[in-house]
Amino acid sequence: MAIRVHGFMSSGKRYIQVENQPHHITGIFKTLMHFSENMHHCTLKDAENAYFKYEEDGTITFYQRENSEMCDSVGIWTYLVYECPEAEEKVFPDLSIDTSANSLKQLFAGYKIVQVTVDIKDYLKYQYIQDEYLDVQLPCDWNTSVGRKIANLLLEEFEAFKSSTIFTERAGQEYGKTVLDGFIKAAQEVLENGGTLRDFESAQYDVLKKIRIDDMANLILEYNDYRIWQAALPSKSKAVEYAFSTALRLICRIK
């Protein structure tokens, strides 16, 4: 049996409410602007009910406009969505979650949403999204001249892992996670000790030398596809260059 969720009919789905994240709010904002007849003069009062799906975290975000006849209030709701048999559809709300549209009003007023990250992994995640409506700020202990430069190098590594399909395979994911964890730990030690960017770059090579690379290198060989090499190289990522250079050395041994 279909149910109504913030003005939209849905069947075969269950909805579990979660906190609205900045990328959910900017996503619904872009959706509202896209469907606006005159986006340059559009205001929140002009906006109709809308939804935005974010595939990477399996969520859907609804904007619901105020409706005095239905006693509905304006707001933003985000849910994790799960398949379910028909007639078992249900919404699981969390009344402790803030559903106000204040952040959306801020975007319509021409301001960005300031996202202060609590750790470097969150910073990398939000920077990778490259959302023009987000002002992503580094964690306090990283917000120094050296910290910002190191964060840029980490972002290059993060982006490189996301850019090649080979790093979506199990061995590729494990390699990427191990490398990033090692690089972040090394970066934190450099910052705590008042080190330099050069100190961090040296530490990156030390991390790579300690990582088990065989599974990653063998995966590259198993692909046996020159297009993987063309897409990945040359790379600003030390980890990607290291993985492919190791694979190349294996090829030379075999020959």
The three-class DSSP label of residue 31 is: helix
pLDDT for res 41: 53
Q: 31: closest CA among 135, 126, 104, 112?
A: 104
Clarify whether residues 96 and 164 are in a common domain.
no
* 102 and 161 share one domain: no
Beta pairing class for 13-18 and 75-83:
antiparallel
Cβ neighbors of 244 (< 8 A, separation 6 or more) are 220, 229, 232, 233
* Residue range 66-83: mean pLDDT, rounded: 77
The answer to the question of residue 136 being in a domain is no
Let me know: does 127 contact 155? Beta carbons within 8 Å.
Answer: yes
Q: What is the mean pLDDT of the chain?
A: 88
Strand, coil or helix: 201: helix
Note whether 66 and 149 are same-domain residues.
Answer: no
**What is the C-alpha to C-alpha distance for residues 210 and 182, in angstroms, rounded to an integer?**
10
247 pLDDT tier (thresholds 50, 70, 90): confident
If you ran DSSP here, which 8-state letter would residue 89 be given? -
Structure-block tokens of residue 172: 């590729």
DSSP state of 134: E
Structurally, how many domains does the chain consist of? 2
- Say which residue the tokens 């896209």 belong to: 34
Residue, of 208 and 247, whose pLDDT is higher: 208
Q: Which residue has the higher pLDDT, 42 or 174?
A: 174
Tell how far CA 107 is from the center of its chain. 20
Whole-angstrom Cα distance, residue 104 to residue 97? 16
Considering the domain architecture, whether residues 245 and 165 belong to the same structural domain is answered as yes
Residue 39 has pLDDT above 80, yes or no: no
Give kind and range of the element (H or E) at residue 135: strand 134-137
Residue 68 has pLDDT above 70, yes or no: no
Considering the domain boundaries, does residue 126 fall inside one? no
Given 109, 133, 160, the domain boundary residue is 109
**Separation of CA 42 from chain center:** 28
Q: Which domain holds residue 164?
A: 142-254
Q: Is pLDDT larger for residue 76 or for residue 164? A: 76
Q: Compute, in degrees rounded to 10, the torsion defined by CA atoms 135, 141, 143, 145.
A: -160
pLDDT of residue 158: 95
Residue 46 within a domain: yes
Assigned domain for 69 exists: yes
H/E segment holding residue 208: helix 197-210
**Within-domain flag for 101:** yes
Is residue 217 over pLDDT 90?
no
Q: Are 160 and 236 in contact (CB under 8 A)?
A: yes
Amino acid at 197: L
Q: Is residue 32 predicted with pLDDT exceeding 80?
A: yes
pLDDT of 59 higher than 60: yes
> Do 8 and 93 sit in the same domain of this protein?
yes
Which range among 47-56, 62-71, 77-86, 142-151 shows the weakest confidence by mean pLDDT? 62-71
- Alpha carbon of residue 169 to chain centroid: 18
Does the pLDDT value for residue 6 go beyond 70?
A: yes
Do 47 and 89 sit in the same domain of this protein? yes
Look at residues 62, 93, 109 and tell me which one is the last residue of a structural domain. Answer: 109
Whether the per-residue pLDDT at 219 is higher than 80: the answer is yes
Q: Is residue 121 part of a domain?
A: no
The residue with tokens 């402790």 is: 96
